[in-house]
């Protein structure tokens, strides 16, 4: 690896239906907060990394050109990174590459989405190629339910058991979202509410599914020498891993899911992690669908394959458990897609620097951030710690 990279500031907007601001105004809010958090100003930044969903989402092509003023990016190297759901994590990785390469010491990373401005499921339908897959693999809930059903069947998990574990995750996230000032969906729910809510893509119900949000997230990354110069106590990026799969959904195994397994393995190897369950203190697992989160536990080595439900049933992934997951309320309650993976990264950075406020996991030193994207096809993982 090149030079060490740290996160020295984060900024998030309140998420939800943000008709009070235009798209660049929303980004200006997040970027301003990242500068406030880091004590830096736009002239300190050497390069800017930005990204969002396919531009059909907001109806403006190449949106980084539209965002440029809101990011203070005029006159600087500017790049757009976009990998659908995993965009936010790809952004974090792209920012990392910029600094780790030694080319830049201070980089601004920005992800945003305004999902109330277009047709999110219709936009996602344009992600599948038009000849073979588009009529069938459009709309995220359908794809993820195909995957969840196969997962439950592979391991002979009873439908009722999986449904109850998923419902517990939904309640956990909806409860935790109240403690995150930036979270979108804040409603009190019970397990019974979840299992009785409307079916979206059988067996997945409306309370198992994330919303589409308006929101932005910004982050400032710095080299080790810049961290020393500034004299700050940052969150260090200890490992990054990313992996993609074939273009055809039916080609890969989505249960023993290679892209998720490889992304985690690569990040663990760089970070020197051999036992993630013991060595991680907190994980921001990308969970747009409750069912899918349990599949990720298995692929990330939090438990053996087929045992994801047990981590929920035994409280391991709940607050107070061995490995609390998504204390921010997660993607399930807040999902401005282009920003979502970057929010996971920002939240992990807040946790390990003891800055997570009301949703702080006490004593968290090392965390995992994750996002998934493409056509259920890409996974990215980042390991973040308060020491190098």
The number of C-alpha atoms within 13 Å of 369 and in the hemisphere containing its C-beta is: 31
Nearest distance from C-beta of residue 202 to other proteins, angstroms: 4
End-to-end CA distance of the chain: 13
Q: 146-205: which residues touch other proteins (CB under 8 A)? A: 146-147, 149-150, 153, 198-202
Nearest distance from C-beta of residue 141 to other proteins, angstroms: 6
Contact (CB, 8 A) for 336 and 213: yes
Choose among 120, 147, 290: nearest CA to 206: 290
Q: 251-310: which residues touch other proteins (CB under 8 A)? A: 251
119 vs 192 by CB, closer to other proteins: 119
Nearest distance from C-beta of residue 338 to other proteins, angstroms: 18
The CA-CA-CA angle for residues 147, 175, 285, to 5°, reads: 40
Burial class (CB in 10 A: 0-12, 13-18, 19+), 229: exposed
15 binds other proteins (CB under 8 A): no
In this chain, which of 7, 137, 167, 303 binds other proteins, going by CB under 8 A?
137
249 binds other proteins (CB under 8 A): yes
In this chain, which of 19, 41, 190, 314 binds other proteins, going by CB under 8 A?
19
242 vs 249 by CB, closer to other proteins: 249
How far apart are the C-alpha atoms of 334 and 131, rounded to whole Å?
33
Is residue 78 helix, strand or coil?
strand
Contact (CB, 8 A) for 367 and 284: yes
Nearest distance from C-beta of residue 83 to other proteins, angstroms: 18
Nearest distance from C-beta of residue 246 to other proteins, angstroms: 5
115 vs 346 by CB, closer to other proteins: 115
121 vs 278 by CB, closer to other proteins: 121
How far apart are the C-alpha atoms of 50 and 125, rounded to whole Å?
23
Nearest distance from C-beta of residue 242 to other proteins, angstroms: 18
Q: 363-382: which residues touch other proteins (CB under 8 A)? A: none
The answer to whether the peptide bond before residue 298 is cis (omega within 30 degrees of 0) is no
Is residue 350 helix, strand or coil?
helix
> With CB under 8 A as the contact rule, which of the stretches 171-179, 231-239, 244-252, 340-348 interacts with other proteins?
244-252
Ranges of beta strands (E only) in 260-365 are 282-284
142 binds other proteins (CB under 8 A): yes
Choose among 221, 197, 192, 220: nearest CA to 208: 197
233 binds other proteins (CB under 8 A): no
56 binds other proteins (CB under 8 A): yes
Count residues near other proteins (CB under 8 A). Answer: 39
Contact (CB, 8 A) for 284 and 330: yes
How far apart are the C-alpha atoms of 217 and 50, rounded to whole Å?
10
x/- contact string, 22-41, with other proteins (CB under 8 A)? x-------------------
x/- contact string, 106-135, with other proteins (CB under 8 A)? -------------x-xx-xx----xxxx-x
Nearest distance from C-beta of residue 2 to other proteins, angstroms: 29
Burial class (CB in 10 A: 0-12, 13-18, 19+), 79: middle
> With CB under 8 A as the contact rule, which of the stretches 19-27, 38-46, 106-114, 219-227 interacts with other proteins?
19-27
- Phi-psi bin for 374: left (phi > 0), alpha (psi -120 to 50), beta? left
Nearest distance from C-beta of residue 158 to other proteins, angstroms: 13
How far apart are the C-alpha atoms of 218 and 227, rounded to whole Å?
18
In this chain, which of 74, 181, 187, 248 binds other proteins, going by CB under 8 A?
248
Nearest distance from C-beta of residue 262 to other proteins, angstroms: 15
Choose among 292, 243, 302: nearest CA to 267: 243
Nearest distance from C-beta of residue 22 to other proteins, angstroms: 8
Binding site for other proteins (CB under 8 A): 19-22, 56, 59, 119, 121-122, 124-125, 130-133, 135-139, 141-142, 145-147, 149-150, 153, 198-202, 246-251
């Amino acid at each position: 690896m090149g030079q060490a990279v740290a996160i020295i500031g984060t900024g998030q907007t309140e998420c939800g239906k943000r008709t009070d601001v235009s798209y660049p105004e929303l980004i200006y809010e997040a970027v301003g907060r990242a500068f406030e958090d880091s004590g830096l100003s736009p002239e300190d930044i050497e390069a800017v990394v930005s990204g969002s969903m396919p531009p059909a989402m907001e109806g403006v092509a190449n949106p980084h050109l539209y965002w440029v003023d809101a990011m203070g990016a005029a006159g600087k190297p500017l790049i757009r990174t976009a990998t659908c759901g995993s965009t936010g994590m790809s952004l974090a990785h792209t920012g990392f590459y910029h600094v780790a390469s030694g080319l830049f010491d201070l980089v601004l990373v920005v992800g945003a989405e305004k999902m109330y401005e277009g047709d999110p499921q219709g936009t996602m339908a344009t992600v599948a190629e038009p000849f073979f897959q588009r009529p069938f693999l459009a709309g995220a809930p359908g794809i993820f339910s195909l995957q969840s059903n196969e997962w439950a069947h592979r391991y002979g998990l009873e439908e009722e058991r999986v449904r109850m574990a998923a419902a517990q995750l939904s309640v956990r996230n909806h409860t935790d979202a109240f403690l995150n000032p930036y979270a979108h969906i804040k409603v009190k729910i019970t397990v019974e509410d979840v299992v009785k809510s409307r079916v979206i893509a059988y067996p997945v119900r409306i309370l198992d599914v994330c919303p589409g949000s308006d929101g932005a997230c910004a982050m400032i990354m710095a080299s080790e020498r810049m961290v020393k110069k500034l004299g700050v106590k940052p969150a260090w990026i200890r490992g990054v891993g990313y992996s993609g799969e074939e273009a055809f959904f039916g080609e890969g195994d989505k249960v023993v899911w290679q892209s998720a397994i490889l992304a985690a393995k690569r990040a663990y190897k760089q970070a020197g992690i051999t036992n993630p369950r013991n060595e991680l203190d907190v994980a921001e697992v990308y969970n747009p669908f409750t069912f899918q989160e349990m599949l990720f536990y298995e692929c990330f080595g939090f438990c053996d394959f087929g045992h994801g439900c047990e981590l929920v049933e035994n409280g391991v992934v709940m607050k107070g458990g061995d490995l609390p997951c998504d204390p921010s309320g997660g993607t399930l309650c807040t999902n401005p897609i282009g920003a979502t993976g970057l929010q996971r990264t920002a939240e992990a950075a807040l946790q390990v620097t003891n800055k997570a406020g009301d949703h702080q996991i006490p004593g968290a030193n090392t965390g995992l951030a994750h996002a998934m994207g493409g056509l259920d096809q890409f996974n990215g993982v980042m390991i973040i710690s308060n020491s190098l």
